[in-house]
Amino acid sequence: MPGRVLIVEDEPNIVESLTFLLSREGFDVTSHGNGVTAFDALLVDPPDVLVLDVMLPGLNGFDLLRRLRGNPALASLPVLMLTAKGQKRDREVAEACGANLFMIKPFSNADVVAAVKRLAG
């Protein structure tokens, strides 16, 4: 079942942690720390699941997700949004943009792994 996961996150410690956790579960994990370069990479080689931060340099996570959902080749890509911004409004924006799941930082490692497995399955 494991597949390929792209993590779009600009905090190196979070990228390292998520990469370790997901790799241990058998996922092939790559990452980008910038919304613009991530979108370019998604166009070339889309993963099975996207783990997406909201606050990113270049292009924020909401705008990146809007671009994905507007692109027929990427519109159905499963997306887990991670954010330190946990207000109700942020969840509503994420859902309106097309996020499949939404998690607030700090998150439980087990919850993130379970969410990615669910999206990949």
State the pLDDT at residue 54: 95
Phi-psi region of 111 (alpha: psi -120 to 50; beta: other; left: phi over 0): alpha
Which helix (H) or strand (E) is 53 found in, with range? strand 49-53
Apex 16 CA angle, 79 and 101, nearest 5: 20
What's the whole-number mean pLDDT along residues 93-119? Answer: 96
Tens of pLDDT along 27-51?
Answer: 999 999 999 999 999 999 999 999 9
The total of other beta-carbon atoms located within 10 Å of residue 84's CB is 13
Q: What does the longest C-alpha to C-alpha distance in the chain come to?
A: 34
Instruction: Tell me the percentage of the chain whose pLDDT exceeds 90.
Output: 90
Whole-structure pTM value: 0.96
Statement: residue 85 has pLDDT above 80: no
CATH of the domain spanning 4-120? 3.40.50.2300
pLDDT mean across residues, the chain? 95
State the pLDDT at residue 2: 84
Domains of the chain, residue spans: 4-120
Query: Is the Cα dihedral 92, 98, 60, 29 positive or negative?
Result: positive
